[in-house]
Structure 1
Amino acid sequence: MNSDFRIIIQRIEKYFTRRRDTEYYLQVVNDQYDETYNFFINIRPRNQRMHSIPLHTVENYRLSYLEKLINKIMEQYQFSITYDGFVGLRWPMNQELIQKRRHKDE
């Protein structure tokens, strides 16, 4: 987990520039076909288009691993996180739904 965590944090630090009137949030995508989790940082300055920048692909395809990784990231950064491809799945530790309903682009 440490290598995935380090890579994601280093790339977040590179793109998280704390500009005024800019929205930053993370997106985690469940790629069921390749059995990977893809991390993106989405950056949207006010009145401009959103930029989605790939951060890292996690190849350890276990929800328990993903939950620990996200908790560790959230200790350092308090970003909002959107989840895609997780409809009906629950976190192993607290049994909360990860994604309640499909997004319109899924």
Structure 2
Amino acid sequence: MNSDIEIIKGRLTLFFKRRPQTRYWLMLTNDTYDQIYNLFFNSQRANQRLQSVPLHKLAHYNLANLEKLLKTLRQNTTLTIELVGFTGERWPASQKLIQRKRVLLE
């Protein structure tokens, strides 16, 4: 898990440019067919198209590990993290719903 965080932080510093009028966020997707989690770095300048760059693929398909990884990732970055593909699933530790409604991307 620590190596995953180091890889993500290293790639974030490559792609995160502090440009004016640009929105940056992370998107974590649940790929149930391949049993992996994918992390994307999204950026969109005003009046331009969305750019999505794959950051990392988490091969350990376990919600408890993902919850720990997201906790440490949120401590290291202030970017918004959007979760996609987790409709109806709950976090193991807190039993809170991860995602209430389906997103248009699903």
- Any unmatched runs of 5+ in structure 1? none
| Distance (whole Å) between structure 1 residues aligned to residue 5 and residue 70 of structure 2 | 9
Identity %: 44
Paired position in structure 2 for 1:88: 88
1:48-87 aligned at under 5 Å gives the runs: 48-87=48-87
> Residue 83 of structure 1: CA displacement?
1.1
Q: TM-score, normalised by structure 2?
A: 0.96
Q: How many residues align?
A: 106
| Distance (whole Å) between structure 2 residues aligned to residue 17 and residue 25 of structure 1 | 12
Paired position in structure 1 for 2:16: 16
Look up the SS of the partner of 1:78 in the other structure: coil
- Any unmatched runs of 5+ in structure 2? none
| Distance (whole Å) between structure 1 residues aligned to residue 75 and residue 22 of structure 2 | 21
Paired position in structure 2 for 1:31: 31
**AA partner of residue 15 (structure 2):** Y
Runs of 4+ in structure 1 off by over 6 angstroms are: none
Paired position in structure 2 for 1:98: 98
1:13-53 CA distance string (max 9 Å, x none): 11111111110000000011111000001000111111000
| Distance (whole Å) between structure 2 residues aligned to residue 67 and residue 11 of structure 1 | 20
> Residue 105 of structure 1: CA displacement?
2.8
Q: TM-score, normalised by structure 1?
A: 0.96
